[in-house]
Chain A
């Protein structure tokens, strides 16, 4: 799960998508602020302040008597540049004068303490309008209403809010679109990378990157990769068929030769010749095996291998050989698991152990397996003659033998096979001298499976 997340979080297209989405969300915040700012209260507050100021004037005029108030009222009605609403209502609540047709009665909403909002019909044109107002009782018992028309403010506010919401909707959908595009591109990239990775890991060159459309650059990239894989496959098949025919064409006559020799009457010469033929065949088998490990890079037999089990089996197999030479054979192993081909790994350790026993006169061979974080380190150390630093690289080559006199048996392919198997497992092999400066230590480092 976390791995899958990392794969996406490390994608540049998805990161760009997320960045854009983030910017869009900032836009959403801005629009939301705009909506809040454009809320009714702000506009109403302004209207209320104006109304309160006008009321203070009216109150001070009213204190001077009926006539000055009437004069002020008439003056305010005729000379009204700011569009205030005025109305006077008698205590009997029946007569009304001013620039609104009716006294607010129904559909009155209290906006806040003393401030009401109501719908009214404007005096000359009778159109529906909305206003806020305050009402005060005059000293003579009449009611004075001072208000302001907020119809246009309401409309502006409505526009502002709608605009804000539209912006939010747009920003959110852009953000979602950015994330989808980013995810889509990252997903396709990951699929291409996965396929390529699988091909490298399994060596299965017949696999192809899936191409589901043909219009975009990624599909083109997939198609190019597939053509490249096709070319590689053809080349590899060529190599494979050549080695297969060598195997067939050279080994068959050798079979016959061996058969003919086998039918000869018993003699030492016959046995010697049979041994020679078997030796040639063994070299041949080893050589073909190394080539196939190196070129085919087959990983179909790969599975989790328990190191302690495998090493236990190898040691058990070679114990009698060591005992015959009076050598000690010690295994110290921490339980651990690596991913590999158990047959090839067995071959690897058996070759190393075989060499160690072969080139050690007295003393012993130790095998150590330790776990170091994500790695498993296996060391095969002997107390034999060792290999000089200058020759350590060379011994991994085919047919190279330290023992120039070739007095020891062997075909010089053992370590070459070890190197090929190590390479297939993406492990590391290091040849060094033993702890006390003598002998040979082969340190192998594998990736650990936890």
Chain B
């Protein structure tokens, strides 16, 4: 996996670069907009992470230039401009995701992986999702664990579906809020955790094999036990 990071803050670049290398990514960096645009258009990357306020060429201008020349590399915009308005502006310019500074590194990685997975050509639309002995039938809208039927409410079903679709990837609380609840807001309490623990109880009543794992400081990961 080859990632391009366009960011003028050296510490942030170092932080991202080091973290991504540890996870096995190949990382190229550019410290201004001009270099970034040059690299983005001449080299091939799996994903691009770009800041918005950059010396030289602005982040969204790079994005526009890429999309105009039909380069569909997934782009994650990283910015301190946090209003919904700015976010919409970024997504409209062709960004695949928009992450607000300050961010936790885990949040960045989680979003990056989901974004890259999404950009790969998908197979036929799945009607069944599976993880270990947990099965979800999207047409009949039923869930079974080791053949035993599990009763879920609509929202819990949606939550489980999202986790199953991103098996092996870390999904953060913000990602869940955005994708499962479809409301953009800041919960005052760790309300997501409560919902996850409820879901856990429902899919593993005997708490023998946990399928949803908490990733400290980041979020959750659904994975078959090894």
Contacts and interface: CB of A to CB of B under 8 A. Distances in A.
Given A248-B53, A320-B194, A301 B188 contact: no
A251 B101 contact: yes
Interface centre among A259, A274, A342, A350 (most CB of B within 10 A): A259
A298 B187 CA distance: 21
Contact of B81 (A244, A256, A262): A244
A254 interface: yes
Give chain B's interface secondary structure class.
Answer: loop
Contacts of B12: 252, 255-256, 259
A163 to B, nearest CB: 69
Interface stretch (A66-74, A280-288, A422-430): A280-288
Nearest to A413: B188
B103 A350 contact: no
A150 to B, nearest CB: 86
Nearest to A259: B15
Interface string B77-95: 0001111110000000000
Contacts of B81: 244, 247-248
A414 B185 CA distance: 12
B2 interface: no
A408 to B, nearest CB: 11
B82 A262 contact: no
A292 interface: yes
Contacts of A40: none
A300 interface: yes
A318 B191 contact: yes
B95 to A, nearest CB: 18
A262 B105 contact: yes
Nearest to A261: B217
Interface in A291-338: 292, 296, 298, 300-301, 313, 316-318, 320-321, 324
A258 interface: yes
A113 interface: no
Nearest to B187: A350
Interface string B104-120: 11000000000000000
Given A320-B194, A351-B188, A256 B15 contact: yes
Interface residues of B, number: 32
A281 B107 CA distance: 15
A298 B188 contact: no
Contacts of B105: 259, 262
A321 B190 CA distance: 10
Interface string A9-20: 000000000000
Contacts of A30: none
Interface size range of chain A in the complex: 35 or more
A271 B216 CA distance: 9
B104 to A, nearest CB: 7
Contacts of A259: 11-12, 15, 105
B82 A247 contact: yes
B185 A256 contact: no
Given A285-B82, A288-B82, A313 B183 contact: yes
B101 A255 contact: yes
Contacts of B15: 256, 259
Nearest to A348: B185
B85 A298 contact: yes
A271 B187 CA distance: 21
A317 B186 CA distance: 13
A121 B42 CA distance: 111
Interface in A337-382: 342-344, 346-347, 350-351, 354-355, 358
A354 to B, nearest CB: 5
Nearest to B195: A320
Interface string B13-51: 001000000000000000000000000000000000000
Contacts of A292: 83
Interface centre among A258, A271, A320 (most CB of B within 10 A): A320
A306 B191 CA distance: 23
Nearest to B198: A320
A410 interface: yes
A340 B195 CA distance: 27
Contacts of A281: 102
A227 interface: no
A346 B185 contact: yes
Contact of B191 (A271, A285, A317): A317
Given A252-B9, A262-B104, A354 B184 contact: no
Given A289-B186, A346-B183, A252 B191 contact: no
B13 to A, nearest CB: 11
Q: Which 4 A-B pairs have the closest CB atoms?
A: A255-B102, A248-B80, A347-B185, A259-B15
7 contacts: A259-B105, A271-B216, A286-B186, A318-B191, A346-B183, A350-B191, A354-B189
Given A244-B81, A248-B81, A324-B194, 20 more contacts: A244-B80, A247-B80, A248-B80, A259-B12, A259-B105, A282-B186, A286-B186, A298-B85, A313-B181, A317-B195, A320-B198, A321-B189, A321-B194, A343-B183, A350-B187, A350-B188, A354-B187, A354-B189, A355-B188, A410-B188
Interface of B: 9, 11-12, 15, 53, 80-85, 101-105, 153, 155, 181, 183-189, 191, 194-195, 198, 216-217
Interface of A: 244, 247-248, 251-252, 254-256, 258-259, 262, 271, 274, 281-282, 285-286, 288-289, 292, 296, 298, 300-301, 313, 316-318, 320-321, 324, 342-344, 346-347, 350-351, 354-355, 358, 409-410, 414
